[in-house]
Amino acid sequence: MQSNESGAAGAAGNSPEVIAQVYQCLHDLARRHLAGERAGHTLNTTALVHEAWLAFSNAAPAALDGSQFYAYAATTMRHILIDHARRRLAQKRGSGEVHLDLEAVEIPVDDAANELLALDNALERLSALEPRLSQVVELRFFAGLSVEQTARALEIVPRSVVRDWARARAFLREVMA
């Protein structure tokens, strides 16, 4: 994914070409997020982009460079998907619905929602212990930034990103195992 160095958060006042580029990058980001979701997911890429845009258009800090904007967008999309997964799991637990005989109804197990929540919990634990490692995961995995782009966004050297990325992956593997 390419980074828009002109500052994507202020894209609304920019040319239609810049807005189209930002929109396309957000679509690519949404596609990455939805790639691991189950078939028939109720959110498609466009819906995720639009929900994310609404969520952060008024809340995003004004002075974000391209890498920071896409990291912020990735975090926002991840939170939207996690909230969506929580709502799906709440519906599976009843959520005020009429109770039916469980012997008469088959309920498909939604492992993807459980895995997404487990990943979110693991990232929360990582963030509490090592906030920068959690930021590296958000930028590398969720935003799809390169090592160099991540280093620029965090204002660290690329070698630190490589080291932090390895430590974060090891931590997440251990916690989620």
pLDDT digits (tens, 9 = 90+) for 25-73: 888 888 877 776 655 556 778 888 888 878 777 666 666 677 777 778 8
pTM: 0.54
Cβ atoms within 10 Å of 117's Cβ, excluding its own: 14
Report d(CA 172, CA 177) in Å as an integer. Answer: 8
User: Domain boundaries in the chain?
Assistant: 8-176
Cβ atoms 70, 29 nearer than 8 A? yes
Distance of CA 98 to the CA centre of its chain: 34
Report d(CA 26, CA 36) in Å as an integer. Answer: 17
What is the phi-psi region of residue 167: left when phi exceeds 0, alpha when psi lies from -120 to 50, beta otherwise?
alpha
For residue 92, the model assigns a pLDDT of 60
pLDDT surpasses 80 at 82: yes
Token pair, residue 128, equals: 């509490």
For residue 155, the model assigns a pLDDT of 92
Token pair, residue 132, equals: 């920068």
